[in-house]
Amino acid sequence: MSIDALNLKPDGWFLALLLSGLVALTMGCNDDSNSVVTPSEALFSTTLILLDASGQQKDAFRPGEEITFHLKVTNLTSNPQTLMLPSSQIFDCFVMDPAGVEIWRWSHGQGFATVLTPLEFAPRQTRDYMEIWDQTDNSGKPVDPGTYDASGLIRANAPGLTSNTVRFENL
C-alpha cells in the first residue's frame, strides 16, 4: 500500500513521526562499520556528583543547604554521536528516600516543548548540566533528616545515559 493510498499529507506530525522512525532505526548504528550496537556497548558515560555552595563535592549536607547536582555525560566513542530527545528536556535529576520512593524530581511541574531535539556530541566530548536543589520535596516541603539517593539521566534512549547513584546524608 502506498502513502498516496493512505491519503496522508506530509504535515508536521507526519514528518515528526517519519523522522522519529528513521532516528530509531539509525540510533544504534556505528558510522564506521554500520553494525548495530548492543545494549552492553555503552556509547556514553553519565556521572553525577553533588556539590555544596562553594563547589566542593560532599556526601553530607545541613537541612535546607542548597545541593548542586552536577551531571556529566561523555561520548565514549571516537565518532560524533547525535541523540534524539523526545522533547526540549535534556536531563533530569531525582532524589529517592531509603524505601526507593521518589521525593524530588527536577522536572516536576515543569513544561517542555514536545519536539524532537537533537543533542550532538563530538568524539569524546563531555557536556555538563547543573541544577540546584533546595532540599524540598515535590510538594515544596523541606525534606526530613536522613539518608537519600540521588541520580540523574539524559532524556534519550541509548546505553550509558543514566548516572551512578549518589548516597548522601541530610544531617
What CATH number corresponds to the domain at position 133?
2.60.40.2360
Residue 26 resides in a domain: no
Is-above-0.85 flag for pTM?
no
3-state secondary structure 44-80: EEEEEEEECCCCCECCEECCCCCEEEEEEEEECCCCC
CA distance 101 to 121: 33
Q: Domain range holding 79?
A: 37-170
Residue 140 predicted with pLDDT over 70: yes
| Res 163: pLDDT | 97
Q: How confident is the model at residue 19 (pLDDT cuts 50, 70, 90)?
A: very low
| 21 found inside a domain | no
Three cell numbers, residue 125 = 566530548
- Give the pLDDT confidence score for residue 41 in this predicted structure: 82
Total of domains in the chain: 1
Residue 67 forms part of a structural domain:
yes
Asked if residue 6 belongs to a domain, the reply is no
Distance CA 24, CA 84 (A): 9
